[in-house]
Chains A and B, each alone.
Chain A
Amino acid sequence: EADIYQTPRYLVIGTGKKITLECSQTMGHDKMYWYQQDPGMELHLIHYSYGVNSTEKGDLSSESTVSRIRTEHFPLTLESARPSHTSQYLCASRLAGAAGELFFGEGSRLTVL
């Protein structure tokens, strides 16, 4: 059982609101990731982090931002939500090194009206 948690699991919110999706892991993993996935579609990497105070953008451009102040915590923020942000957001983590298994949270399904 992976010790990586995402909240909220589901969120319905109006356009223009600021939202933060939380992701926490208790495995001491250095590397953390955010993926975005629309129903039936592939996962797209939108952000990743090597460790504390390290964040990078992924292959899919995203208006969201992330922070990594603590090893275990990697929140994703949308300053002004829009309907185009409606999607599932998946957080993952793994140990540094070539063979580290990637552990996923259960996802946060965001709907922006």
Chain B
Amino acid sequence: LAKTTQPISMDSYEGQEVNITCSHNNIATNDYITWYQQFPSQGPRFIIQGYKTKVTNEVASLFIPADRKSSTLSLPRVSLSDTAVYYCLLLTGANNLFFGTGTRLTVIP
């Protein structure tokens, strides 16, 4: 059963770049790596997804090494509104998707 491991919490000052690393040693060939953001009392929201190397969109970058056993979500120049819980998830054709504990990011003024 593919699961992920992330730091429980991180703090960062406004304007800094934040990197959150996720370990997924048992990743399968068909798994995609997906990151979600969740604010209090809301459902998680998709941020970014990748299979290998680097993916970038308007809000984040995702770095995946060649062995795919880990991934790093990079948030450039965070603001107070980026304070949230960030989940790393392996997305497969299977039906049971596990979110884990996520990383609670606190952005400090």
Contact = CB atoms under 8 A, between A and B. Distances in A.
Interface of A: 31, 33, 35, 39, 42-43, 45, 48, 50, 56, 58-59, 88, 90, 92, 96-107, 109
Contacts of A50: 95
Interface residues of B, number: 27
Nearest to B104: A40
Q: Among the interface residues B36, B43, B51, which one has the most CB atoms of the partner chain A within 10 A?
A: B43
B97 A45 contact: yes
A4 to B, nearest CB: 9
A102 B91 contact: yes
Nearest to B89: A102
Which are the 4 A-B pairs with shortest beta-carbon distances? A104-B43, A43-B99, A42-B101, A101-B46
Nearest to A92: B43
Interface string B29-50: 0111010100011111110010
Contact of A107 (B41, B49, B95): B41
B91 A100 contact: yes
A97 B7 CA distance: 29
Contacts of B43: 90, 92, 104-107
Given A39-B40, A96-B93, 20 more contacts: A33-B97, A42-B99, A43-B99, A45-B97, A45-B98, A48-B96, A56-B96, A58-B96, A88-B41, A98-B31, A99-B32, A99-B49, A99-B51, A101-B34, A102-B36, A102-B97, A103-B46, A104-B45, A105-B43, A107-B42
Contacts of B91: 98-100, 102
B12 interface: no
A90 B32 CA distance: 22
21 contacts: A33-B97, A42-B100, A43-B44, A43-B87, A43-B99, A48-B96, A56-B95, A59-B96, A59-B98, A90-B43, A98-B91, A98-B92, A98-B93, A99-B91, A100-B91, A101-B34, A102-B34, A102-B44, A102-B97, A104-B45, A109-B41
Contact of B49 (A35, A88, A101, A105): A101
Nearest to A30: B95
